[in-house]
Amino acid sequence: MTVVDEAALLRATHDELDRLFRASPPGEVPHGPMDGTAVLAPGTPVNRLVASLARSVAWRGKVFDPAGRTLANRIGPVGVTAIKAVVAPGHSWVDGRECVVIDYSKTSLVAHGVRDEIRLVAKDLYLGVVWLWRRRVGWFLLRRPGTGAAASPSPHQIPLTIRAPLRQGHEGDVPGLLDELRKGVDSDGGPFRDMAGVHFARVFVLPPDGDGRESLIYMAELDTPVLAHLHDLAAARGDALSALLGLCEEYPETRTAGGRVRWLRDHEIPPAATYVHRTGRSLARIRDEARLRERIEQFLDEKPEWTGTGEVAVHRAIRDFVAQQPDLSWALRPAAPTAVGHRLREAAHLVAVPAVAPLLLPAVPALAALIRLKELRDEPEHATVSRARLAELTQQEDTRVQNPFTATGYVKPGPVRHFTLRTVLYGLDWFNRHVYATGGLAGVRTIHFARWVYLDGGRRLVFASNYDGSLESYMDDFIDKLSAGLNAVFSNGAGYPRTRWLLWGGARDEQAFKSYLRAHQLPAVWYSAYGDLSARNIDDNSALRDGLTRDLDAEAARSWLALL
């Protein structure tokens, strides 16, 4: 078995799995959630179908406690945790060599006669054997969520937002911890480095609302299940991020992750709208495709005799080189699509919104008139940003290819503005998911992710994005290409530059618009998993991989080689 990944293991026969298990090391005891795949019919054409059905309705994996001494299984369609077991290193009944033993005999009446054994067969991928009353009855796979992107359906990216008020009397501890967290993130990624599937993350303090209390906000863009990421957050110990969470009201001071996970779930806030540069492109895939480019360029550099070689021949030589590399041969297969369930939900959403939209058309003239009356009474703010505040905001800007932007403001009072903003964001979310989901937001191709999140029952709105280039060029792109869209959303915010009929004016007053953004911008500790890759770089790497999956004619090969 030249390539060991989930797809290869699902194609393997019983004897191939047995040989691999015998030849593999035990690996460390996993911790946190692990995605599971049952291998019930190895070597048969129906094995993949049976595995998919079992995952959908019966068994979805295991959750190991942070200490790695016990686990629970994730059962049923929604992954309810049940059927506990004791976990410890031990000797396998297969060959007597060391493995990780999962023993149910002392913890489960239902599974009293069951014993699992696992060994590490690839990075973040375990192969397990199931024993029932000392008789071997099956195989299974365990992998860290968010890994194995080349072998399984591509995950869709998930925005996570957590907001919690800080405990009174501890606000003074926050700046020092944020600075400590920033130094760790800038040095080696800090606590996010070892968390699966985190593309971007940020932590910032939200200014007080009417109650006078500041709040801590955590945001992340994930391609791992949210529950898995919450377990990672809850398991953190002794770092600045866990200390910051510990300053929040009612954060559990417990050694077990369960209470903390429940607290985190209770403080989640759904987004009103999101944007993803390319749906379904996982962190693992982005990193793998960047590595693929590096290896291809190294291969080309090491062979100086390419001059005079035709484009088709060069393309064929690169494909042959990739095929001969066990750690790159995955690139000869097309990238997996997103999961069927996600595609079905998106298809339903694609149809549902246009079907409902005509019902709102009769109200448009009256709404437009009411908005115009409001605009005539609006008072734009003329806020300035102090030098100290500007220095704080620009501290981490332009240190790499990418930059973060975080801003918040109050929504103008009254039902007209609130209804308008909710309607606009609902429509924006539809366009982002179905029209702008393939690499560009209305012509702006430098944004990786963006989100709009309501706070305080809709009285405030947070906008957060991850983009390429400087803030100045970012704002210029928006003004030149998206001023109407900017106005439709942000003119419902208090103090925004004056607009006409919702769409005109506003952002076209360039200096007033830029001053408004700076005045509402918030500093944040920010993490990027691939800070040296622009959105264009990532697109080109995917196109490079795509060109390896098939033969190309001379014209197509010439265009493909231009990517290098």
Quick check: 521 and 393 in contact, CB under 8 A? yes
Q: Is the dihedral of CA 36, 39, 43, 47 positive or negative?
A: negative
Q: How confident is the model at residue 510 (pLDDT cuts 50, 70, 90)?
A: very high
Q: Average the pLDDT over 439-453 and give the result.
A: 88
pLDDT at residue 395 above 50?
yes
Q: Torsion over CA of 174, 177, 181 and 187, rounded to 10 degrees?
A: 140
The rounded radius of gyration (Å) of the Cα atoms in the chain is: 26
Task: Write down the pLDDT at residue 34.
Answer: 87
What are φ and ψ of residue 500, in 5° steps? -130, 125
pLDDT at residue 399 above 60?
yes
Task: Write down the pLDDT at residue 151.
Answer: 39
Quick check: 67 and 105 in contact, CB under 8 A? no
pLDDT at residue 148 above 50?
no
Residue 381, judged by CB atoms within 10 A of its CB (0-12, 13-18, 19+), counts as middle
Q: Which residue has the tokens 């365990």?
A: 142
Quick check: 327 and 349 in contact, CB under 8 A? no
CA dist 322 → 172, 293, 299, 317 (Å) = 55, 11, 10, 9
End-to-end CA distance of the chain: 31
Q: Average the pLDDT over 484-508 and give the result.
A: 95
Tokens of 250: 């009612």
What are φ and ψ of residue 541, in 5° steps? -65, -40
Q: How far apart are CA 438 and CA 275, in angstroms?
A: 11
- Residue 302's CB is within 10 A of a number of other CB atoms, namely 7
Secondary structure class of 110 (helix, strand, coil): coil
Task: Write down the pLDDT at residue 160.
Answer: 96
Residue burial 27-47, b: 16+ Cβ < 10 Å; e: rest:
bebbbbbbbbbbbbbbeeeeb
Quick check: 142 and 61 in contact, CB under 8 A? yes
**What tens digit of pLDDT does each residue of 32-73 get?**
778 899 999 999 988 888 887 787 668 989 988 866 689 999
Mean of per-residue pLDDT scores for the chain: 89
Cβ-Cβ contacts under 8 Å for 48 (sequence gap 6 or more)? 10
Strands 80-91 and 98-103: antiparallel
Q: How far apart are CA 145 and CA 158, in angstroms?
A: 13
DSSP string, 343-406: HHHHHHHHHHHHHHGGGGGGGHHHHHHHHHHHHHH---------HHHHHHHHTTTTSSSEEEEE
pLDDT at residue 147 above 70?
no
**What tens digit of pLDDT does each residue of 276-288 get?**
999 889 999 999 9
Outline where 379-520 has alpha helix (H).
387-394, 415-434, 471-490, 510-520
Task: Write down the pLDDT at residue 169.
Answer: 87
Q: How far apart are CA 378 and CA 47, in angstroms?
A: 64
Task: Write down the pLDDT at residue 1.
Answer: 58
Q: Average the pLDDT over 195-211 and give the result.
A: 92
Q: Average the pLDDT over 390-408 and give the result.
A: 87
Sheet holding 447-455, edge to edge: 273-276, 447-455, 460-468, 402-410
Q: How far apart are CA 246 and CA 357, in angstroms?
A: 45
DSSP string, 65-107: -TTSSEEEEEETTTTEEEEEEEEEEEE-TTTSSEEEEEE-TTT
Task: Write down the pLDDT at residue 152.
Answer: 45
**In the chain, what percentage of residues exceed pLDDT 70?**
95
DSSP character at residue 154: B
What are φ and ψ of residue 437, in 5° steps? -90, 10
Q: Which range in 146-155, 164-173, 311-320, 358-367 is most confidently predicted, on average pLDDT?
A: 311-320
Quick check: 110 and 133 in contact, CB under 8 A? no
Cβ-Cβ contacts under 8 Å for 316 (sequence gap 6 or more)? 551
Q: How confident is the model at residue 145 (pLDDT cuts 50, 70, 90)?
A: low
Quick check: 332 and 322 in contact, CB under 8 A? yes
Task: Write down the pLDDT at residue 3.
Answer: 65
Quick check: 560 and 318 in contact, CB under 8 A? no
Task: Write down the pLDDT at residue 150.
Answer: 39
Task: Write down the pLDDT at residue 338.
Answer: 80
Q: Which amino acid is at 382?
A: H
pLDDT at residue 443 above 90?
no
Return the H-helix or E-strand segment holding 195: none
Q: How confident is the model at residue 116 (pLDDT cuts 50, 70, 90)?
A: very high
Task: Write down the pLDDT at residue 182.
Answer: 94
CA dist 325 → 292, 297, 312, 320 (Å) = 11, 14, 20, 9
Rounded-to-5 percentages of helix, strand, coil across the chain? 40, 25, 35
Q: Which residue has the tokens 């099956």?
A: 138
**What tens digit of pLDDT does each residue of 511-563 get?**
999 999 999 999 999 999 999 999 999 999 999 999 999 999 999 999 999 99
Task: Write down the pLDDT at residue 255.
Answer: 64
Cβ-Cβ contacts under 8 Å for 120 (sequence gap 6 or more)? 24, 25, 26, 27, 28, 126
